[in-house]
Amino acid sequence: MTHGTGGKQHSVLGKSQTVKDTLDLSHIVVNLRDCGGLPALDGRRLRHGMLYRSGNPSQARGDALRRLESLGLQTIIDLRSPRERRHRTFTLAGARTLSIPIGIAELTQKRLRGVLYKPRSEAVIMDVMVSVYRDMVDLAVAPLGAILRLLLEPQSYPVLIHCRAGKDRTGFVCAVIQMILGAAPQALIQDYLRSGVHSASAVQQTLLRFRRLTLGLIPTSNLATVYAVNPRYIQASLDRIAEGYGGLTGYLARGGFPKSGFAQLQAQLLENG
């Protein structure tokens, strides 16, 4: 695994179940939020100012960039593929930027080919997205191991995890982290669904551009289904972990993250509620 700092980027492989305390920063970067306050084991909560998640931050400029810098990030984990990063790489002074791709972008494009532009294909596209979320579990084995080992290092924090929209790959990685911290399934699904709120404006702008480019001849409802935050999607990932690996412990062990790491990460990230 290789690291970078100062603007260089390198490749590397409770009782209360509410998320109302999470800090919404989506006015700075699409779908950016502090994961602090999320409910976890024994009524404890995730510490504020430790773990952030977002969509692609590379378009942050001016005041938005200054606000992002004020978070004091030490590590930025980019889950996008090399192809996605080609023209939109993001680095931040003082932070190491690590590329740990989870390769679903090209997979999704391939499976959507031939159906994305067909009228009334929403149900088919939804099934495609469910299949992508299931297969993402397998594709993320090694990347998740690398990410979780980084999160055991105190010097890594604060950490930002991002992909393109902050919904699919980032949503899955954050769901796994919450599972390690002891969050109930309904709590992590609820947090996943929050991406629909925090990215709504950006999605609407994308759909509007799509409509203009296609002169309104191609339905936007298909694309909206791809961008949707649907509980069926993340549930497909959770089911794959249970059915394919016998649960979270077996799944993470495949990526080199042992059961002993659970307590270490809990000590690192949790505080009393």
pLDDT (tens digit, 9 = 90+) per residue, 47-94? Answer: 999 999 999 998 888 988 999 999 999 999 999 999 988 877 788 989
Evaluate whether 69 touches 92 at the Cβ level (below 8 Å).
yes
**Is the confidence at residue 10, as pLDDT, over 50?**
no
Q: Domain with 248 in it: what CATH number?
A: 3.90.190.10
Q: Terminal CA-to-CA distance of the chain, rounded, Å?
A: 35
Domain contains 273: no
User: How many structural domains compose the chain?
Assistant: 1
> pLDDT tens digits for 245-257?
999 999 999 999 9
Domain contains 156: yes
Choose between 15 and 83: higher pLDDT.
83
Evaluate whether 219 touches 125 at the Cβ level (below 8 Å).
no
Cis peptide before 258 (omega within 30 of 0): no
Q: What is the mean pLDDT of residues 91-112?
A: 93
Evaluate whether 68 touches 29 at the Cβ level (below 8 Å).
yes
Domain contains 105: yes
Q: What are phi and psi of 229, to 5 degrees?
A: -105, 100
Q: What are phi and psi of 31, to 5 degrees?
A: 65, 25
Q: Is 164 exposed, middle or buried (0-12, 13-18, 19+ CB in 10 A)?
A: buried
> pLDDT tens digits for 114-139?
898 888 899 999 999 999 999 999 99
Three-state secondary-structure class, residue 219: coil
pLDDT value of residue 235: 97
* Helices and strands, number each (H, E), in the chain: 12, 9
Residue 229: domain span: 9-268
Q: Please count the other Cβ atoms lying within 10 Å of the Cβ belonging to residue 78.
A: 28
E strands present in the chain: 9-11, 23-24, 33-34, 45-46, 51-54, 75-78, 96-99, 159-162, 270-271
**Is the confidence at residue 104, as pLDDT, over 60?**
yes
Tokens encoding 265 = 């990460």
Domain contains 2: no
Q: Tell me the Cα Rg of the chain.
A: 18
pLDDT value of residue 48: 95
**Is the confidence at residue 16, as pLDDT, over 70?**
no
Residues forming beta bridges with residue 270, ordered by sequence position: 46
> pLDDT tens digits for 173-190?
999 999 999 998 889 999
What is the distance between the alpha carbons of residues 65 and 41, in angstroms, rounded to a whole number? 34
Q: Helix, strand, coil shares of the chain as percentages rounded to 5?
A: 50, 10, 40
pLDDT value of residue 119: 86
**Is the confidence at residue 9, as pLDDT, over 50?**
no
The pTM score is: 0.87
- Measured torsion, CA atoms of residues 132, 57, 35, 25, in degrees rounded to the nearest 10: -130
48-62, 146-160, 194-208, 257-271: least confident range: 194-208
The one-letter amino acid code at 98 reads L
> pLDDT tens digits for 206-222?
778 878 887 777 778 88
258 Cβ contact list (under 8 Å, min separation 6): 252
Domain contains 3: no
Evaluate whether 135 touches 107 at the Cβ level (below 8 Å).
yes
Domain contains 1: no
**Is the confidence at residue 19, as pLDDT, over 50?**
no
Three-state secondary-structure class, residue 77: strand
pLDDT value of residue 214: 79
Q: What is the DSSP letter of 47?
A: P
pLDDT value of residue 24: 64
Domain contains 177: yes
Longest dimension (CA), the chain: 56
